Structures are given as structure tokens and as C-alpha cells.
């Protein structure tokens, strides 16, 4: 009879170069984002919307004031700052939609299975997607609005509506636009992961930021006054507003409210990503 000696299995060690780290996940998401043609096209459209709409609004304002024609309600009392940010709602749609597609697109193509196989803990994928795309949306927003304001201030230089970067609150407001659009992008990423549907995520995003504020007119005045400032779009606009009329949030309060909405969307996405199958 022979006796074989059984040795305890040695634990496997993963080489340091193969470990899944937050930095490597972020680099992978960065590579995936820029490998899509739709990323370049949509970001270009968002930047173009900021530049074109702001510049067109400025030219129309100057033409109307020079000719003595009555101004439209949207342009009455405008300044170089308010005209420069005229395209923000349109850029919001482009950046928010791309945010949704960065996550929902992987569920549509089935690529999410490969992604989660490479990152079994799952949640780092969501954090990396949100961080990478949020930073990109912020950069596009800041770049576009700074260039547009430079154009608007140059066109309106010497007029009552003229402003410059040295005016109080202007630079902070322009960075606030970028922050707002960056958070919109993060919310888009979260909605895409939560609903796992491009159509559903886009509908939810557009509804929350553009449709619901318009429906507030159907509520009683007392409710409307209490609820409207805390909607995502209204709170976000408070971040970059130069003046805060009565009934609106301050810049800091608006930022906190929008961060709360962002955390809520990310929390829902994280819960579903952790609990549900891909």
C-alpha cells in the first residue's frame, strides 16, 4: 500500500500588472468612450450648439437694438453673459443623451457582459463611467461657454449690455455652467445604467430637465412655489445665475440640490447593477 502525501493548495496570487484597480477601470472606460464615432460627433454638436446659439442670439440682440426694433421677450434686458449661455439647454440635451448612451449602449450590444467579466465587483465600472464622462462633459461645457462669452462680450463691447471676464461673478458663473453640464452627463450615465434602455433613459432625462418644469404650471401656486426651485433643471440653473431673484435657490444651495439628484440617480443605478443580472 502506498501513501500519498496531500499538500494544501497554494493560494493563487494575481500579478500586480493584472489586478483590477480603479485607475485601470477608468482608463478602460476612457478608451471605450473615445473609440466610438458617436462620442466625437455628439460632443462636437454640443460644443457647436453652445457657440452657434449664443453667437446668433448676441447678433440678433445687437441688430435689434441698433435698428430700434422691439426686442423679443427672451432678449429683453439681456447682457453678454445671458446671451452667451443661451445655448446651454440645447447642449444639455446633447451631453445628457450621450451620457445615457455610454451605459445603455453596452446593454444593447451585450458588451456589458464582457465588461463585468473583467471587473467582477461591478460598481467600479459605474463609478469610472460616471467620473470619466462627467469630466469630459465639464470640459466641453467650460470650453464652449468661455469661448462664447468672449465672442458675445466682443460683439457687445461699448454697449449697455457689454460685460467682461473681470465683472463680478462672471468667471465663477461660467465654471458653474461647466459643472452643471458635467453633472447632467453623470445623471445621464446613471439613468442609462438604471433603466438599461436608451429610449427610456433619454426620455427620463429630457422629462426631468425640460418637461417637468413646464408642467409645474398645472400645480396650485403654493405647491409650485415650494417645489419648482428644487427640480434638477431649476436647481442647476441657480448654479450659474448671476442674480438670484426671490423664490430661487442660491448658487451653493442649487449645487447641493443637483448633487442630491445626482447621488439619487447613481444610487439607483448602483443598486440595480449590483442586484440584477446583466
How many helices and strands in the chain, by DSSP H and E?
Answer: 12, 0
Tell whether the torsion through CA atoms of 230, 252, 160 and 178 is positive or negative.
negative
* 201 falls within a domain: yes
- Give the percent of the chain with pLDDT over 90: 62
Tens digits of per-residue pLDDT, 65-76?
Answer: 777 677 676 677
73 or 107: whose pLDDT is higher?
107
Task: Check residues 110 and 5 and name the one with the higher pLDDT.
Answer: 110
Q: What is the pTM of this model?
A: 0.89
Domain count, the chain: 1
High-pLDDT (> 70) share of the chain, %: 91
Cell numbers 449661455 correspond to what residue?
A: 85
In a domain, 17, yes or no: no
User: In this model, does residue 262 exceed pLDDT 90?
Assistant: yes
Record the cell numbers describing residue 133, joined without a space.
464622462
- What pLDDT, on the 0 to 100 scale, is given for residue 122? 87
Q: Does any domain span residue 18?
A: no
Contacts of 238 (CB under 8 A, 6+ apart): 229, 244, 248, 249, 250, 251, 253, 254, 255
Query: Taking Cα atoms as reference points, which of 99, 65, 102, 64 lies closest to residue 181?
Result: 99
In this prediction, residue 171 carries a pLDDT of 95
Question: What pLDDT is recorded for position 86?
Answer: 93
- Residue 15: inside a domain: no
Compute the chain's Rg from CA coordinates: 23
Residue 10 falls within a domain, yes or no?
A: no
**Is the confidence at residue 275, as pLDDT, over 80?**
yes
DSSP codes joined into one string, 93-162: HHHHHHHHHHHHHHHHHTHHHHHHHHSTT-HHHHHHHHHHHHHHHHHHHHHHHHHHHHHHHHHTTTSTT-
182 vs 213: which has the higher pLDDT: 182
At residue 118, the pLDDT reads 87
User: What's the rounded mean pLDDT across residues 259-271?
Assistant: 96
**Separation between Cα atoms, residue 146 and residue 92, nearest integer Å:** 16
**Which of the pair, 173 or 213, is modelled with greater confidence?**
173
- Please compute the mean of the pLDDT values over residues 259-275 and round it to a whole number: 95
What's the pLDDT score for residue 10? Answer: 53
Query: Does the pLDDT at position 18 exceed 70?
Result: no
The pLDDT of residue 14 is above 60:
no
Per-residue confidence at 142, pLDDT binned at 50, 70, 90? very high
Specify if 11 maps to a domain.
no
Q: Residue 88's pLDDT band (boundaries 50, 70, 90)?
A: very high
C-alpha cell at 142: 467650460
Can you tell me the mean pLDDT for 12-19?
58
Range of the domain at 198: 25-65+72-275
pLDDT, residue 12, reads 52
pLDDT of residue 16: 53
Residue 13, in any domain of the structure? no
Read off the pLDDT of residues 196-252 as tens digits, 9 standing for 90 and up: 999 999 999 999 999 988 888 788 887 888 889 999 999 999 999 998 888 889 999
Residue 45 lies in a domain: yes
Q: What's residue 263's pLDDT?
A: 97
* CA distance linking residue 144 with residue 240, whole number of Å: 14
Amino acid at each position: 500500500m502506498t501513501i500519498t502525501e496531500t499538500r494544501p493548495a497554494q493560494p493563487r496570487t494575481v500579478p500586480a500588472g493584472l489586478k483590477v484597480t480603479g485607475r485601470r477601470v477608468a482608463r478602460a472606460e476612457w478608451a471605450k468612450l473615445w473609440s466610438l464615432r458617436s462620442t466625437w460627433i455628439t460632443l462636437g454638436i454640443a460644443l457647436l450648439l453652445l457657440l452657434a446659439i449664443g453667437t446668433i442670439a448676441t447678433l440678433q440682440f445687437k441688430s435689434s437694438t441698433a435698428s430700434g426694433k422691439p426686442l423679443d421677450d427672451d432678449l429683453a434686458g439681456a447682457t453678454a453673459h445671458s446671451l452667451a449661455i443661451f445655448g446651454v439647454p440645447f447642449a444639455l440635451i446633447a451631453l445628457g443623451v450621450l451620457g445615457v448612451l455610454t451605459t445603455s449602449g453596452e446593454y444593447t450590444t451585450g458588451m456589458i457582459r464582457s465588461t463585468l467579466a473583467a471587473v467582477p465587483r461591478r460598481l467600479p465600472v459605474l463609478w469610472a463611467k460616471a467620473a470619466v464622462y462627467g469630466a469630459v462633459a465639464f470640459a466641453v461645457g467650460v470650453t464652449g461657454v468661455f469661448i462664447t462669452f468672449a465672442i458675445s462680450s466682443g460683439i457687445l463691447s461699448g454697449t449697455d449690455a457689454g460685460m467682461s471676464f473681470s465683472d463680478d461673478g462672471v468667471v465663477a458663473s461660467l465654471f458653474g455652467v461647466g459643472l452643471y453640464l458635467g453633472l447632467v452627463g453623470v445623471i445621464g450615465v446613471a439613468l442609462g445604467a438604471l433603466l438599461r434602455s436608451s429610449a427610456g433613459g433619454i426620455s427620463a432625462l429630457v422629462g426631468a430637465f425640460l418637461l417637468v418644469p413646464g408642467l409645474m404650471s398645472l400645480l396650485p401656486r403654493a405647491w409650485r412655489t415650494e417645489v419648482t426651485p428644487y427640480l434638477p433643471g431649476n436647481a442647476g440653473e441657480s448654479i450659474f445665475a448671476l442674480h438670484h431673484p426671490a423664490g430661487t435657490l442660491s448658487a451653493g444651495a442649487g449645487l447641493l440640490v443637483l448633487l442630491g439628484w445626482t447621488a439619487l440617480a447613481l444610487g439607483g443605478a448602483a443598486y440595480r447593477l449590483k442586484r440584477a443580472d446583466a
